[in-house]
Every structure is written in structure tokens, then in C-alpha cells.
Amino acid sequence: MKSLIVAAALVLCGPAVAQTAVVASPAHAQLLASPAEDLRANKRLVYDFWREVLEGGQLDRASTYLVEDYIQHNPNVPSGRAGFVEFFARITKPAAVAEAVKAPLVAITAEADMVVVSSVRTLPVPGVAGKTYTTTWFDMFRVRDGRIVEHWDSALLQR
């Protein structure tokens, strides 16, 4: 009977959000650090791509960062550098490039030819007006010869 009362209370009270909030790191220099020169270079490449192309909308710089046959695993963005540029041209406009990435970064991790960027995502609690929670978003890039050749994230198909 006690478990039935607890279950009923949970249903009536709506979804509970019990978590430790995800917190961004303001120390981007530390996120870009690595004891290995190649890993530092890969982190910096992805960081600058994010700042200049994704956040700054400088799509003319895409060729500096992406190979022509760039592979995209996000189901909403086409593969190929041209497909990337065409997609982002519809949703972004060129702006001043900031000295630091504006996204709330949690970590930048590099291993071999892979770089993973994690950032804070704040989303609405389903069914609870005005209430939000934080979660972590991950983007992973594969780098070859100083340019990005492949990208993954956890995006779902949108229509």
C-alpha cells in the first residue's frame, strides 16, 4: 500500500528533476591544453572551427577546416563541405568572430585523431511550464592532416 501511495504522489506531482547541474568551464585555455603537440593542434583546430564557422557564421572559411568530402553523421546536415555550407547558409549569418567560443563548454578531449567537445544544454522540463534542466551535449570530430574529416553528435532527425 505504501508503494502505491508513493507512486501516486509521483504521478500527481509531475516529473521530478533531481540532478547535479552541468556547469561550463570558463577556462578555455585549460580545455585546449594537452601534453602532446598533435592533440593540442587538433583541439585548437576544432575550437577555431567552432568559433569562426559555427558561431561566427564565416562559411567562407569552411575550406580551412573541412575537407571537401567531409562526412556528417548528424541526420539533419548533409555530408560534404558544400552540403555543410549550404545547410548553414540557411540558418546563420556572418558575425564578428569572438576570441573565445561562446558555447558553454564543459570539456575538450582529444585522443589519437578524435576530438570530443562537450557543452551544457539547458532544456525545458517536459510538461512543466517555465522549468528547465541541464544536460550535456557531445560533438565528436575526426581530424586528418590538419582538417576535419568527420563529425558525430547526438542530434535527432528534425522535419
In sequence order, the 6+-apart residues with CB closer than 8 A to the CB of 58 are: 52, 94, 97
In sequence order, the 6+-apart residues with CB closer than 8 A to the CB of 75 are: 155, 156, 157
pLDDT in tens, 94-136: 999 999 999 999 999 999 999 999 999 999 999 999 999 999 9
- Specify the length of the chain in residues: 159
Strand order of the β-sheet with 114-124 is: 66-72, 147-153, 132-144, 114-124, 105-111
What is the predicted pLDDT for the residue at 18? 62
What is the predicted pLDDT for the residue at 121? 95
Positions in the chain whose pLDDT score sits under 50: 4-12, 14
Sketch out the chain's domains with CATH numbers. Answer: 19-153 (3.10.450.50)
